[in-house]
């Protein structure tokens, strides 16, 4: 069975060797983002003659203002860009970095136990933000319009305000119940000590000023100025260990994306410090070792789950910041490694966790909606897939008083102690331990698919589950799914530890559920999760389709779309 599909794959590989798609092939643009105001602002930039990278800067900045629970200038992100003119894809790593005063055991008590909330709440949980540097870098190196123009829509929305909506209020309710929110945070989002009503205008004047500083002085304004000193002073007063040099030395890194050949198509996706690309490559390579396309639903689900289990185990043991540790990427994404792993799969039974792997996996918290993804295709075929985050709902729950920045709590994505689960229940080894100036491992997975059908640009929020959501969308695309189906299809997830399959209602029929249980899997139905944003382009018709996840639709905004 293994060999048959290998042959099929080989035959299908011819497309990836084909000519690059030319700009003339594109007749329409598409943007999918988590908020209508961000999508609208992005389209306006394209209308004014901006390219996909200009629009990416605008959409990113607007999301930072209107979706403050997901991402923002106090956090970081990954920008996967493709330039048609250069026929080149690049990955801009704007991940936060640990402060230089950080150390491996900084979130442990005197007994060596993890101080669970220390890496989640307040300024000590916050890495050095990367998103402002990304806005500057993308606009200056890849865009065609000045940064100050690209940031105007975000500045206006921060200064004049935007109407509160259900999802924002839900996020505030969760945040208020689950953590300490800083006084400035409350003053902005809960004036008079009350949650806002739908439609109530939320203004962020300090954030508007911060955006203005970035608009006029770029990287230097944010990372190396009097403004920076004030931010650091305020953060340190409330427990941060940030230093001025941490900001001065911060820069984004352009990295080569991971490319995967699958069923004759090329996938371009996120390299470390994202774990997304390598984990997806391993899963796809494993399932390619089987006659996957002819399997019944139950067998197929079992195979995907077993592949997820193995790839997430690799994630836990091998992945970390490639600037600090050796990550064996070529081995992890190789066909040989996948074959070795595939040969350990029993198609009749779930693989029990080995006694050496009895690590401390616990169930993750709800992780459906924080972090934000958007996808852009411009009229010339340039593409942007961007995932940005402040980690959990409203990050650390701490807002810097004079800059209006909500600080990330990305330090929780490090391993506070080897193989102790983080907020997402994910375990990591020494590769992802805390070191000064190191980037913490991420699951964010902005991705392009280029096939004989056309293109897809995709990604989603969702913590540890980002990777399996992107994987399932890729598989849906190869099953013939369009953008709508890629965003709407039901989801399931296995992350090695805890050893449980989590799935959305109606993902599996009763028969499949029974089959999986009989094979020894533990299953847990959970509420729906994710907020996938997909843009597709069809080769033959030239049709562009943009689709936002039905799970994340924000109602009540009357906006004309293209
Ligand atoms: N903070 C979530 C991630 O980067 O994976």
| Residues near ligand 1 (Cβ within 6 A) | 371, 389, 391, 410, 413, 442-444, 463
Active site residue 371: yes
- Count of CA atoms in the C-beta half-sphere (13 A) of 354: 6
pLDDT band, residue 13 (cuts 50/70/90): very low
pLDDT tens track for 383-442: 999 999 999 999 999 999 999 999 999 999 999 998 888 888 888 889 999 999 999 999
Q: Residues 6 or more apart from 174 whose CB is under 8 A from it?
A: 366, 393
Which residues are registered as beta bridge partners of 97? 128, 439
Would you state the structure tokens that stand for residue 383, as one six-digit string? Answer: 């593409």
Across the chain, mean pLDDT equals 92
Which residues are registered as beta bridge partners of 383? 82, 377
Q: Whose CA is nearest to atom 4 of ligand 1?
A: 442
Ligand 1 nearest-atom number relative to CA 466: 5
Specify the pLDDT at position 302. Answer: 98
What's the pTM value of the predicted model, to 2 decimals?
Answer: 0.94
Specify the pLDDT at position 385. Answer: 99
**Out of 127-131, 263-267, 352-356, 535-539, which region has the weakest mean confidence (pLDDT)?**
352-356
Specify the pLDDT at position 365. Answer: 42
**Out of 124-128, 215-219, 498-502, which region has the weakest mean confidence (pLDDT)?**
498-502
Quick check: 498 and 312 in contact, CB under 8 A?
no
Q: Whose CA is nearest to atom 3 of ligand 1?
A: 442
320: burial class by Cβ within 10 Å (0-12, 13-18, 19+)? buried
Specify the pLDDT at position 178. Answer: 83
pLDDT tens track for 122-164: 999 999 999 999 999 999 999 999 999 999 999 999 999 999 9
Distance 14 CA to ligand 1 centre (A): 35
CA distance 222 to 400: 14
Best mutation site among 466, 467, 468 for ligand 1, i.e. most ligand atoms within 8 A of its Cβ?
466
pLDDT tens track for 66-112: 999 999 999 999 999 999 999 999 999 999 999 999 999 999 999 99
Which residue among 58, 371, 507, 536 is the active-site one?
371
CA distance 440 to 411: 7
Distance 463 CA to ligand 1 centre (A): 5
């Amino acid at each position: 069975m293994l060999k048959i599909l290998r042959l099929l794959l080989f035959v299908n590989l011819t497309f990836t060797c084909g000519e690059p798609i030319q700009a003339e092939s594109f007749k329409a643009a598409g943007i999918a983002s988590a908020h209508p105001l961000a999508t609208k602002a992005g389209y306006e930039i394209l209308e004014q003659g901006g390219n996909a990278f200009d629009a990416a800067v605008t959409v990113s900045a607007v999301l930072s203002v209107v979706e403050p629970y997901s991402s923002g200038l106090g956090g970081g992100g990954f920008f996967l860009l493709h330039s048609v003119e250069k026929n080149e894809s690049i990955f801009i790593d704007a991940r936060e970095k640990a402060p230089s005063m950080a150390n491996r055991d900084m979130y442990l008590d005197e007994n060596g136990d993890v101080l669970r909330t220390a890496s989640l709440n307040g300024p000590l949980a916050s890495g050095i933000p990367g998103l402002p540097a990304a806005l500057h870098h993308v606009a200056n190196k890849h865009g065609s319009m000045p940064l100050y123009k690209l940031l105007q829509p975000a500045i206006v929305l921060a200064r004049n305000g935007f109407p509160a909506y259900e999802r924002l209020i839900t996020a505030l309710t969760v945040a208020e119940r689950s953590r300490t929110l800083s006084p400035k945070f409350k003053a902005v989002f809960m004036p008079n000590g009350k949650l806002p009503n739908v439609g109530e205008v939320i203004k962020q004047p300090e954030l508007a000023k911060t955006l203005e500083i970035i608009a006029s002085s770029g990287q230097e304004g944010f990372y190396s100025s009097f403004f920076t000193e004030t931010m650091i002073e305020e953060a340190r007063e409330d427990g941060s260990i940030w230093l001025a040099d941490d900001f001065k030395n911060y820069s984004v890194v352009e990295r080569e994306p991971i490319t995967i050949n699958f069923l004759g198509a090329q996938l371009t996706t996120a390299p470390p410090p994202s774990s997304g690309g390598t984990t997806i490559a391993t899963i796809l390579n494993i399932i390619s070792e089987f006659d996957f396309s002819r399997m019944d639903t139950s067998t197929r689900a079992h195979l995907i789950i077993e592949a997820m289990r193995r790839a997430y185990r690799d994630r836990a043991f091998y992945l970390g910041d490639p600037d600090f540790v050796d990550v064996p990427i070529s081995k992890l994404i190789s066909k040989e490694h996948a074959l070795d792993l595939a040969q350990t799969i029993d198609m009749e039974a779930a693989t029990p966790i080995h006694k050496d792997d009895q690590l401390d996996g616990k169930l993750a918290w709800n992780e459906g909606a924080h972090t934000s993804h958007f996808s852009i295709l411009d009229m010339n075929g340039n593409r942007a897939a961007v995932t940005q985050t402040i980690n959990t709902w409203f990050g650390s729950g701490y807002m810097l008083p004079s800059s209006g920045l909500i600080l990330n709590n990305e330090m929780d994505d490090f391993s506070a102690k080897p193989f102790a689960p983080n907020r997402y229940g994910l375990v990591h080894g020494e590769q992802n331990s805390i070191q000064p100036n190191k980037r913490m491992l991420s699951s964010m997975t902005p991705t392009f698919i280029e096939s004989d059908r056309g293109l897809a640009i995709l990604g989603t929020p969702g913590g540890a589950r980002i990777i399996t959501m992107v994987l399932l969308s890729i598989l849906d695309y190869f099953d013939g799914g369009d953008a709508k189906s890629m965003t709407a299809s039901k989801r399931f997830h296995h992350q090695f530890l805890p050893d449980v399959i989590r799935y959305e209602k109606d993902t599996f029929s009763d028969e499949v559920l029974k089959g999986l249980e009989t094979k020894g899997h533990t299953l847990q139905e959970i509420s729906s999760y994710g907020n996938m944003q997909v843009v597709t382009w069809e080769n033959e018709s030239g049709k562009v389709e943009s689709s936002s996840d039905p799970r994340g639709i924000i109602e009540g905004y009357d906006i004309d779309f293209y």
